[in-house]
Amino acid sequence: MHQPAIPHLAAADPDIAQLVEGEAARQFEKVRLIASENYVSTAVLEATGSVLTNKYSEGYAGKRYYEGQQFIDQVETLAIERAKAVFGVDHANVQPYSGSPANLAVYLALAAPGDTVMGMALPAGGHLTHGWSVSATGKWFRAVQYGVRKDTGRVDMDEVRDLARAERPKLIFCGGTAIPRTIDFPAFAEIAAEVGAVLVADIAHIAGLVAGGAHPSPVGHAQIISTTTHKTLRGPRGAMLMSDAEHAKALDKAVFPGLQGGPHNHTTAGIAVALAEAARPEFREYAAGVVANAKALAEALTARGFDLVSGGTDNHLILMDVTGKGTAGKPLAKALDRAGIELNYNTVPFDPRKPFDPSGLRLGTGAITTRGLGTEQMPQIAEWIDRTATAANDGDETAIATIAAEVKELLSAYPMPGWA
Ligand code: DSN
């Protein structure tokens, strides 16, 4: 049963209540390996499900355009102070609705349409909002894009330097959505300084690892740090912008009134709760566990013949080309979903296939580590993935159903926040 229980919803809208219960049960029964997802704590769920959703608060604490902010101002101030303490930054804005609006606010604050900006290409592991052609950031700005080296699968810092010197971008984004290796913030900072660019570190995927000391921090290297709050940081769906003192005002103005109206106060409360959780010693253990699990899973998958981009991982994320297994990303992701293992198909660098039917799979260990799974379970997960690939190639749905039953049986021993 969903936790907190939802009796009022069940009475008022049984259709939606049933779907919420269904989703909770699904999350309980599946090995959730989507690298951008997690399980929030019950405390975060309660905060996000609170009456704070009823309140409008355009503006910032002490300077709002609506009355009645006696409690909301305190909630937002707590979230900001906790973000500053957890990440060690001068300034934090906790209002962006999610990662894309947060990144758009950076453009609005520091660039004008037509300016040159630079980021990692989406197919190489970047994000849409780092200047990819179909995004507003690629349409409204003159975006130049770097990638990874073909021989190593790692960010090509020579290309980053050459491109930056040639194009003199105003902004350089580092970070992305499918980067399995440590981001070299000092190297990016050196290049940005040389060409007079502002360095923006998008740490959406690794924010929890940074907070928990399991990935180097961009603080002191990137003037601006953008992150979502719901991936490894394990908060509600939202985002934050952090910066040095110099860029604080411009970022705040860009978020409100530049891009957004009223902040989502229930989300802000959830972010505050998640940040308090991230400040505890247990969270450091969690972050280390996420990386240990990813490394163990990477090793087990490699031993089974999967072809991992860059040969492994330093963080929570694994990207692999499944062509060698006689399949492609999409059919295998769908078969794995039937087998109780949830992940997403993904392009791999230099992918000859199309983004909607690519060669790869992306996996992450943020959620399963929250669930309590450890390195000892990773060989089993790799074995299920391998068996599913064989079963799917053979069209053997009975074998896939057997794996789903095994997955369910294992997970029944691991509690899930939000489920009782
Ligand atoms: N959708 C996010 C991810 O899965 O990485 C990025 O926006």
Q: Do 230 and 321 fall within a single domain? A: no
Q: Do 238 and 289 fall within a single domain? A: no
Per-residue confidence (pLDDT) for residue 286, from 0 to 100? 98
Selected catalytic residue, list 56, 159, 284, 383: 56
Question: Which amino acid residue places its CA nearest to atom 1 of ligand 1?
Answer: 36
The residues, ordered by sequence, that sit 6+ positions from 337 with a Cβ below 8 Å of its Cβ are 30
Cα 88 from Cα 211, distance rounded (Å): 9
Per-residue confidence (pLDDT) for residue 274, from 0 to 100? 99
What angle, rounded to 10 degrees, do the helices at 99-110 and 245-253 form?
A: 110
Catalytic-residue membership of 168: no
Contacts 24+ apart (CB under 8 A), 121-126: 121/145, 121/146, 121/147, 122/177, 122/347, 122/355, 123/147, 123/347, 123/349, 123/351, 123/355, 124/148, 124/176, 124/349, 125/176, 125/177, 125/178, 125/179, 125/319, 125/349, 126/173, 126/176, 126/177
Please report whether residue 12 resides in a domain.
no
Q: Do 200 and 92 fall within a single domain? A: yes
Residue of 173, 177, 362 to test ligand 1 pocket, by largest number of atoms within 8 Å of CB:
177
Q: Given 245, 263, 278, which residue is the final one in a domain?
A: 278
Catalytic-residue membership of 237: yes
Per-residue confidence (pLDDT) for residue 257, from 0 to 100? 98
Question: Which amino acid residue places its CA nearest to atom 2 of ligand 1?
Answer: 36
Catalytic-residue membership of 202: yes
Selected catalytic residue, list 76, 202, 277, 321: 202
Please report whether residue 232 resides in a domain.
yes
Cβ–Cβ < 8 Å for 201, 172: no
Residue of 205, 206, 317, 363 to test ligand 1 pocket, by largest number of atoms within 8 Å of CB:
205
Q: 149: which 2 tokens?
A: 């080296």
Q: Do 262 and 212 fall within a single domain? A: yes
Binding-site positions read 122, 126-128
Per-residue confidence (pLDDT) for residue 373, from 0 to 100? 98
How many domains would you assign to the chain? 2
Q: Do 54 and 99 fall within a single domain? A: yes
Would the CB of 36 count as within 6 Å of ligand 1? Answer: yes
Q: Do 140 and 214 fall within a single domain? A: yes
Report helix, strand or coil for 250.
helix
Q: What is the dihedral angle through the alpha carbons of 85, 87, 90, 92, rounded to the nearest 10 degrees?
A: -90
Q: Given 232, 254, 278, which residue is the final one in a domain?
A: 278
The residues, ordered by sequence, that sit 6+ positions from 227 with a Cβ below 8 Å of its Cβ are 99, 102, 202, 203, 204, 207, 233, 239, 240, 242
Q: Which of 394, 395, 393, 325 is nearest to 359 (CA)?
A: 325
Q: Do 34 and 152 fall within a single domain? A: no
Centroid of ligand 1 to alpha carbon of 128 (angstroms): 9
Q: Do 210 and 63 fall within a single domain? A: yes
Q: Do 89 and 199 fall within a single domain? A: yes
The whole domain housing 389 covers 30-40+284-411
Please report whether residue 324 resides in a domain.
yes
Centroid of ligand 1 to alpha carbon of 100 (angstroms): 10
Would the CB of 177 count as within 6 Å of ligand 1? Answer: yes
Please report whether residue 2 resides in a domain.
no
Catalytic-residue membership of 60: no
Which ligand 1 atom lies nearest to the CA of residue 34?
A: 4
CATH code of the domain containing 53: 3.40.640.10
Q: Which residues of the chain have pLDDT under 50?
A: none
Please report whether residue 417 resides in a domain.
no
Q: Do 266 and 144 fall within a single domain? A: yes
Per-residue confidence (pLDDT) for residue 111, from 0 to 100? 98
Residue of 37, 38, 103, 127 to test ligand 1 pocket, by largest number of atoms within 8 Å of CB:
127
Q: 211: which 2 tokens?
A: 């907070």
Cβ–Cβ < 8 Å for 315, 182: yes
Selected catalytic residue, list 21, 46, 58, 386: 58
Would the CB of 93 count as within 6 Å of ligand 1? Answer: no
Phi and psi at residue 159, to the nearest 5°: -65, -40
Q: Given 262, 278, 294, which residue is the final one in a domain?
A: 278
Cα 49 from Cα 39, distance rounded (Å): 15
Which ligand 1 atom lies nearest to the CA of residue 178?
A: 5
Q: Which of 192, 208, 211 is nearest to 200 (CA)?
A: 192
Would the CB of 99 count as within 6 Å of ligand 1? Answer: yes
Report helix, strand or coil for 203.
coil
Q: 259: which 2 tokens?
A: 């891009």
Q: Do 215 and 259 fall within a single domain? A: yes
Report helix, strand or coil for 293.
helix
Please report whether residue 16 resides in a domain.
no
Would the CB of 175 count as within 6 Å of ligand 1? Answer: no
CA distances from 176 to 211, 344, 359 (A): 17, 16, 19
Q: 200: which 2 tokens?
A: 């923006």
Catalytic-residue membership of 26: no
Please report whether residue 6 resides in a domain.
no
Would the CB of 226 count as within 6 Å of ligand 1? Answer: no
